[in-house]
Amino acid sequence: NYIKIFAPATVANVSCGFDSMGFAVDTIGDEMTFTKTVKKGVKITQITGANGLSSGPTKNVAGVVALAMLKQHPVDFGIEITMHKGYSPGSGLGSSAASSGGAAFGVNELLGKPFSTLELTKFAMLGEEAACGTPIADNVAAAIFGGFVLIRSYEPLDIVKLPVPDELQLVAIHPQIEVKTKDAREVLPENVPLKDAITQWANVGGLVSGLHTNDYQLIANSLTDVIVEPARKHLIPHFDLVKNEAIKAGALGAGISGSGPTIFALCKGKKSATNVYKAIQNAYSDKNIDFNLFTSKI
């Protein structure tokens, strides 16, 4: 009658895989509870950890997802949701996806698990659509499936779970400014030169292969984005500095996490992650922008 879950933060795109790759973060995320109620419908009774989120079930992404699930699978009870946001919306770490994906998972448990993981991802995408206007799957699929995922196809939806090499570590810096995904999508190019498209899809292939074969050099070579990062990086204060310092300190690669402003770096091993952490900290410490810096296993 009651379930408490951890809904992880997620890094989408992972440089070359715009809207088609993502991974879940171990150490940062939201806590959500789901309780059966006698009164039918969906009620969000508590939101802590973030300001300005509506608790109206049709306005909050968790409510949007829960209502859609109840519509497709009617039951004779209602669901009460609480959420504690572990990080702020507009961070580029899939905050809305944690709420949407968490809601899909939690509600499914109370309903007796009628839906498959793929179906849960589709419900969670409705939350993403409500949040930013586009039903993007990269963050929600990573939150629901865990680990590294590839959205091989949107129609029909096909999610491929990828292996995560043992030593892969994340270092991420979240400058405390907000970038709305909707705004970050408005700066995207409408057309892509064939040459850039070739570079991009070749790198996606390289990254997928590197993850499968534990080939850290191949992963490093493939963490390149010639399409989205150049169009968006001006939205993120000191992006080039952080990226360069991270790579100089030994990161395999670095890029924009989702639609930013968080910048992620992938590293091989904890020692390298510590070096990269320190280099980023140094680079940002005199910049008069508050930031949250963290490492995580993937």
**Would you please indicate which residues are annotated as catalytic (active-site) residues?**
128, 181
Which range binds ligand HSE by CB under 6 A, 50-58, 131-139, 156-164, 275-283?
131-139
Structure tokens that stand for 92 in this block: 């580029």
- Report the residue from 53, 136, 251, 280 that binds ligand HSE according to the rule CB under 6 A: 136
- Report the residue from 258, 263, 266, 277 that binds ligand HSE according to the rule CB under 6 A: 258
Q: Which residue has the tokens 């999508």?
A: 185
Nearer CB in complex with ligand HSE: 210/258: 258
181 touches ligand HSE (CB under 6 A): yes
Which range binds ligand HSE by CB under 6 A, 1-9, 60-68, 135-143, 144-152?
135-143
259 touches ligand HSE (CB under 6 A): yes
19 contacts: CB under 8 Å, gap ≥ 6: 12, 13, 136, 137, 138, 151
Residues paired with 61 in a beta bridge: none
Chain-centre distance for alpha carbon 169: 16
- Report the residue from 100, 121, 139, 262 that binds ligand HSE according to the rule CB under 6 A: 139
C-alpha–C-alpha distance, residues 153 and 34, integer Å: 31
Chain-centre distance for alpha carbon 94: 4
Residues 141-180 that bind ligand HSE (CB under 6 A): none
Query: Total residues contacting ligand HSE (rule CB under 6 A)?
Result: 12
The half-sphere exposure of 45 on its side-chain side, counting CA atoms within 13 A, is 11
225 touches ligand HSE (CB under 6 A): no
Least CB distance to ligand HSE at residue 64 (A): 15
* Nearest alpha carbon to residue 284 among 261, 268, 266, 259: 261
Residues paired with 37 in a beta bridge: 78
Nearer CB in complex with ligand HSE: 76/155: 155
The half-sphere exposure of 173 on its side-chain side, counting CA atoms within 13 A, is 28
Q: Are 107 and 83 in contact (CB under 8 A)?
A: no
Over the window 86 to 125, marking each residue x when it contacts ligand HSE by CB under 6 A and - when it does not, the resulting string is ----------------------------------------
- Report the residue from 19, 31, 80, 196 that binds ligand HSE according to the rule CB under 6 A: 19
- Report the residue from 23, 29, 70, 138 that binds ligand HSE according to the rule CB under 6 A: 138
For 235, which DSSP code? Answer: G
Nearer CB in complex with ligand HSE: 13/121: 13
Q: Residue 249's CB: how many other CB atoms inside 10 A?
A: 22
Nearer CB in complex with ligand HSE: 19/196: 19
Q: Are 175 and 284 in contact (CB under 8 A)?
A: yes
Nearer CB in complex with ligand HSE: 19/215: 19
- Report the residue from 36, 185, 278, 297 that binds ligand HSE according to the rule CB under 6 A: 185
Chain-centre distance for alpha carbon 148: 11
Q: Which residue has the tokens 């493939």?
A: 222
Q: Which residues bind ligand HSE (CB under 6 A)?
A: 12-13, 18-19, 136, 138-139, 181, 184-185, 258-259
